[in-house]
Amino acid sequence: MAAITLLEAIRKGLWEEMERDDRVFLLGEDIGVYGGAFKMTEGFLERFGEDRVIDTPISESAIVGAACGAAMMGLRPVAEMQFIDFISCCFDILTNYAATSRYRQNIGIPMVVRGPSGGGVHGGPFHSQNVESFFLNTPGLKMVEPSTPYDAKGLIKAAIRDEDPVLFFEHKALYRNPRIKQEVPDDDYIVPIGKAAVRREGRDISVITYGVMVYTAMEAADRLQEEGIDIEVIDLRSLLPFDREAIVESVKKTSKVIILHEATRTGGMAGELTAVINEDAFEYLDGPIMRVTSIDTPVPYAPPLEEFFMPQVDDVLKAARSLAAY
């Protein structure tokens, strides 16, 4: 096994699923001849042909609408958003049609909508959003966001095989990050949707997070270890459904919690996770649940402003020290 990037791991998962199942096909803007804006699908057109790697017009509503119809007819479409921000263009189709289809008519829509998310790369407000909270209140959808190459391959394969619509978020700052390269098996495996991973065992404070913020949490944990504060890091991996049991078990062990995510604060994942902890583990808490998130503004374009906007290691350190002293 060679160490590969997160982007290459997703490529491998897509390629293997297309080899395994001829119902799987890709559609999106510039994914064929050009190979994708991030070269995710480079070489796919030559291998699988234009019937299974489809260049589309610049219309996210058309892309997801076509994917819905194809899925209802028995295919397994994987629709790419060139940047996940533009998923808002097909919000109606995803929330009112795809998510409700099984409930309305007992017809699953086994499709994946995937694309690059997140900031930190100076892309400005149209190319840097984290959109998970837009869909958190939509029964019938699933959402995943891998932080490691191993999980990226296993989760994309699980998403394609799922019988219902899955939104697959890929943080673009992780795509080619050499620091997170990982050996990924060549054999067929999946990472189950809905299961979290403990990235670091700890006894003092639980940091619950996902995506690129896993690495922010891990760096903060290393620095806090020198101060005698032992941090446990929980990587959700799946945002809907999320692993309620893993969250509660960690809280019972540490009794103090920081919820860390890059998305803006109001109405974010942190609020829902806080409610779950209050419902299931309130008596174990020895301090207030703390949120470390981006601030409630559009994503700034200027690098210094974007850095101020996003959660940094120092923000986690500040929250952890305050909580440890509580």
Closest among 196, 147, 138, 195 to 167, alpha carbons compared: 138
Residue 25 φ/ψ, nearest 5 degrees: -145, 160
Work out the percent of the chain whose per-residue pLDDT is above 90. Answer: 99
| Alpha carbon of residue 243 to chain centroid | 14
Is 80 exceeded by the pLDDT of residue 275?
yes
Local confidence band at 253 (pLDDT 50, 70, 90 cut-offs)? very high
pLDDT of residue 39: 97
* pTM summary value: 0.96
Sign of CA dihedral 252, 258, 261, 265: positive
User: Average pLDDT for residues 141-152, to the nearest whole number?
Assistant: 98
Q: Report how far residue 53's alpha carbon sits from residue 68's, in angstroms, rounded to the nearest whole number.
A: 16
Which residues are known to be catalytic?
Answer: 127
Are 7 and 40 in contact by the 8 Å Cβ rule? The answer is: yes
User: Average pLDDT for residues 26-45, to the nearest whole number?
Assistant: 97
Q: Which residues pair with 200 in a beta bridge?
A: 233
Domains, the chain, ordered by start: 3-183 (3.40.50.970), 197-324 (3.40.50.920)
Contacts of residue 59, Cβ cutoff 8 Å, sequence gap at least 6: 89
